Structure 1
């Protein structure tokens, strides 16, 4: 029996939504959902829609399964579903569970009202494959782009729930179930998005950090044999690439048994004839959540213990091999990106000399040989005459990000920049190369350089309204930035139209225009990218706390008397391989070192 309309309206009213703001009922065949109408953005929002059965009990560490059928009521889709259990990175602090619910495989759909056959962007949230959720509202971005596409935000299993791995798990379970959840959500979009006004043949997947990394792995999924069956475009902002071990190799196996020990599933805690895996499957969820966080916060500084692995099926190889080795790819086009200073949050802030730099590199990449370290130092060593000022590089002239930033200088900056390049920037370059090389493929690249340029800064201008007060990124910048993403989703090309450029009443965004921003070509000297920045103003220092250490960061603000002009948007085309004193050479080094950092 369905929930009567008056009863449903009363429930909505009790939760803050009026009857006049109801959205149409969506019949998904297994359940029925009714969202609400957001009159500010002219969007129908459907929150907390189940796309898979609860992955609990015997479904732990198994492929996601279709939801059970329950058509006895209309489910109010007006509030976010629980987030998946959270797992922090090292050094913590460790926070015992619970921090979410294992029953967390839900999507949220934001669709312009009364439209059909719209392109779709599926947003995969970041968080190191251990944190965050899909509970955020991207309606401002849709509205900025004239309500021309739908956004679906997804949730997937995190931490040990999504990325526990070992030979033991592989015998009875499935590695990489978090990536399988992403894949399953894309299959859900193919089957059901037309009911929300979407076109399943016009899907772009997008994400930042681990969300961008997940999008990268989906581009490689099943050896690229899906081609365009699930999506045509990828947006990968600072795609996170941690060491990607073989699923049964030493490191994931060590974390597997640390996890099992913390849960109480090693020999002393096992029942008669019970395996370690069977014990974990039957364990209490709070014990599992606590163990996942406990093990991960003991990983090397800035790292998560539970991350994607090479499983030989879904993920058949390392990105350095697949992307640069001519492997087949899913999708036809990519917009990839990184930030000016992606590394400080993940780098210990106590590196003062070459020895400290070496210890840091060998801690995060323990398989490197002394010859490897020598080759790394040839490109990352700090010269004797390096400046000790805190200043952000402009990418074109000294001091470069290899030695100086607004966050650090010297060997500290060398380590911070190395981490940024190996984990975020070079993967974005490799993605650009791979899709530029694909027959019929297209590739664009940009860097967000607005100070302080830290990891995740690009989420603010993407997801917030363009007209909020902000001294560092004005309305012109925000509108242009959101339209770059929107144009890629709708047109398959991120460049701005002449009308969009003319609409900017200040600043210089013309370099993002059609005919001005070239596609990336997979040949050094032709790696064209867009440098997205705000320039002008006077230096202003703000203190941030990174890893418990105070760091002074310089940004630029207008003078109060108007004598120095305010910050304005300033977009420029640059060549990526020569950027930052030869970033292309350093990314090639890391591509060559792939076997030593990912086995």
Structure 2
């Protein structure tokens, strides 16, 4: 199995200078507080500006405070060629407890990719993932900008991570700001409103998007301030596998535990400092390397595949739990959403060796320690593994058994039950809940799709958006990649991801079936069981694999397909199908409703 460390695509994307090809100086952009000059790429007809400072360095007395405007510095024109320093990084647990500090607290930078000589363009603001502990904005969305005719601008932002962005306790609430990393993102969106016109963008046409913790961030920005911002900062939201770990109240048991552990590792948890209520002041004055090491040390003490420092319900900026606010409907920022997830979200986030019901219950209880025995019984009713369940590795097709509740390409039995449970509670149900929230909002619109191309792991649905459409070796052909990039571009450009007839015709005849994504065919998601229509995106063909599966005493023959990396040598073709999300995977909607009902016992 692929380890968590290799999922670098979704957790952190290495800095790289985008857009290979000849380049020349781009026009100087005057932001008032500073002037920046990026470069013009002749191959893509884009002006690229990397490493633009959008907020003052959050160091010293600005640690754990609201972001502030940068100081004015007009003494020179700053080169905007390379991305700015990444924020301090914290690993997931369990892991090596001591690593060299990686990053700088002076990291509130963003990158802009703007088609040249154009104005009033829609804007896509992308927020990186990484469990709120790692990652950076050193990536680009250039391939799909080009696919969509260079008709919109993208902005990639950085924000404080780990303890620097998500330290939480009563001390922080009293003397600083909670959810500082989400406040950074909010501040960057305010920057876009004020300055993006200088790059050719239209601040009235902003879509925000993100993957994993970036998707979770988009969710929280949609909830920010109780939804009263509405369309002030953005109209649309794109969420990919929105990460929703246990969202405690800001002074809950786990945030308090991690705060005290962090302060202790920094050397600020002495009896004298505690007696004088000076622990927080000590943290503000501490050396950055000591703070970075402490942040990473504590984060790696978190549960398997998780980070210690994550968003909390602060009662002011993030007023409620996501399940509460999203399922109320209406009290949300923005008016439209495109929500997506993968079929196999959690193999690398779930500890291995869970072979019995006792193991399963232990896993659930450890992740959600406030559950009662009655709650556990309710969970077992929906995730139970029958004694005659098959021990085969087989990809679920979502509509017929074996479902992902019992079998996948990665696991079977109680191991798969735990993996699927974590996938649903942490990534997939939040995707559903977001679609519900915007479908229920007045004038709201929601579309949803699942990415099922093997191995369909966490983050894999972003590969065809971030790579050229003619890329090979990942089981997706040009038709699949291009159609998906069209869908993404359509959502940014006109607020509707469905493919128009011209786009379908341009791909027709090249193999595959993408018509289910067409306008008038792919309906909006409705927050009603039986009307949760979504797309299932897959590639069919390849090498057939026959398996026998026993369900309730009935023997079933299951045929799945193993794609080859060499697409030209197989019959793999794009296969987009319209499916009903509530009944999908043996009743996923019912399981998501259970978790919404249990939220007060799991997310508080």
How does the TM-score come out when normalised to structure 2? 0.92
Alignment of 1:375-394 (within 5 A): 375-394=378-397
Q: Distance in 1 between matches of 2:20 and 2:490?
A: 32
Q: Does residue 581 in structure 1 map to residue 576 in structure 2?
A: no
1:556 CA drift (Å): 2.1
Maintained 8 Å contact 1:471/1:567:
no
1:306 CA drift (Å): 0.4
Q: Does residue 516 in structure 1 map to residue 521 in structure 2?
A: yes
**Counterpart selection for 2:414 from 411, 415, 421:** 411
- Deviation string 1:223-280 (CA, Å, 9 cap, x unpaired) is 0000000000000110000111111111101100000001110116849957000000
Number of residue-to-residue matches in the alignment: 572
Q: Distance in 1 between matches of 2:603 and 2:474?
A: 41
2:208 maps to which residue?
A: 205
1:387 CA drift (Å): 1.2
**Counterpart selection for 2:253 from 250, 253, 272:** 250
1:597 maps to which residue?
A: 602
1:16 CA drift (Å): 12
Alignment of 1:326-345 (within 5 A): 326=329, 328-345=331-348
- Deviation string 1:79-127 (CA, Å, 9 cap, x unpaired) is 0111000011111123423110000000000011111100000000011
Q: 1:45 to 1:539 in 2, by over 3 A?
A: farther
Maintained 8 Å contact 1:90/1:302:
yes
Maintained 8 Å contact 2:248/2:313:
yes
Q: Distance in 2 between matches of 1:78 and 1:559?
A: 35
- Deviation string 1:490-528 (CA, Å, 9 cap, x unpaired) is 010000111111111211111101011100001000000
1:7 maps to which residue?
A: none
Q: Secondary structure at the match of 1:121?
A: strand
1:20 CA drift (Å): 6.2
Q: Distance in 2 between matches of 1:459 and 1:18?
A: 24
2:4 maps to which residue?
A: none
Maintained 8 Å contact 1:17/1:36:
no
**Counterpart selection for 2:126 from 123, 127, 137:** 123
Q: Does residue 570 in structure 1 map to residue 575 in structure 2?
A: yes
Q: Distance in 2 between matches of 1:56 and 1:23?
A: 31
Q: 1:166 to 1:146 in 2, by over 3 A?
A: same
Bigger mean CA offset, 581-590 vs 91-100 = 91-100
Maintained 8 Å contact 1:41/1:140:
no
Q: 1:20 to 1:594 in 2, by over 3 A?
A: closer
1:557 maps to which residue?
A: 563
Q: Distance in 1 between matches of 2:57 and 2:565?
A: 55
Q: 1:266 to 1:394 in 2, by over 3 A?
A: same
Q: Does residue 220 in structure 1 map to residue 223 in structure 2?
A: yes
1:453 CA drift (Å): 0.6
1:538 maps to which residue?
A: 543
Q: 1:70 to 1:565 in 2, by over 3 A?
A: same
Q: Distance in 2 between matches of 1:407 and 1:35?
A: 45
Q: Distance in 1 between matches of 2:174 and 2:148?
A: 48
Q: 1:122 to 1:156 in 2, by over 3 A?
A: same
Q: Distance in 2 between matches of 1:148 and 1:245?
A: 41
Q: Secondary structure at the match of 2:460?
A: coil
Q: Distance in 1 between matches of 2:330 and 2:298?
A: 34
Maintained 8 Å contact 1:527/1:575:
yes
Q: Does residue 481 in structure 1 map to residue 490 in structure 2?
A: no
2:400 maps to which residue?
A: 397
Q: Secondary structure at the match of 2:538?
A: strand
**Counterpart selection for 1:469 from 468, 472, 482:** 472
Alignment of 1:313-352 (within 5 A): 313-326=316-329, 328-352=331-355
1:471 CA drift (Å): 4.7
1:383 CA drift (Å): 1.2
Q: Secondary structure at the match of 1:534?
A: strand
Q: 1:258 to 1:493 in 2, by over 3 A?
A: same
**Counterpart selection for 2:431 from 428, 431, 440:** 428
Alignment of 1:3-82 (within 5 A): 21-82=24-85
Q: Secondary structure at the match of 1:503?
A: helix
1:555 CA drift (Å): 6.8
- Deviation string 1:268-307 (CA, Å, 9 cap, x unpaired) is 6849957000000000111111111111111111111100
1:369 CA drift (Å): 0.5
- Deviation string 1:18-41 (CA, Å, 9 cap, x unpaired) is 996111100000000001111221
Q: Distance in 1 between matches of 2:275 and 2:382?
A: 56
Alignment of 1:439-450 (within 5 A): 439-450=442-453
- Deviation string 1:451-474 (CA, Å, 9 cap, x unpaired) is 111001112111111112225011
Give the RMSD, CA atoms, in angstroms.
Answer: 2.0
Alignment of 1:124-273 (within 5 A): 124-267=127-270, 270=273
Q: Secondary structure at the match of 1:593?
A: helix
Maintained 8 Å contact 1:452/1:555:
no
Q: Does residue 373 in structure 1 map to residue 381 in structure 2?
A: no
Q: 1:555 to 1:266 in 2, by over 3 A?
A: farther
Bigger mean CA offset, 240-249 vs 47-56 = 240-249
Runs of 4+ with >6 A deviation: 15-20, 559-562
1:88 maps to which residue?
A: 91
Maintained 8 Å contact 1:130/1:159:
yes
Maintained 8 Å contact 1:118/1:148:
yes
- Deviation string 1:309-350 (CA, Å, 9 cap, x unpaired) is 001111000001001123511000000011010011110011
Q: Secondary structure at the match of 1:458?
A: helix
1:6 maps to which residue?
A: none
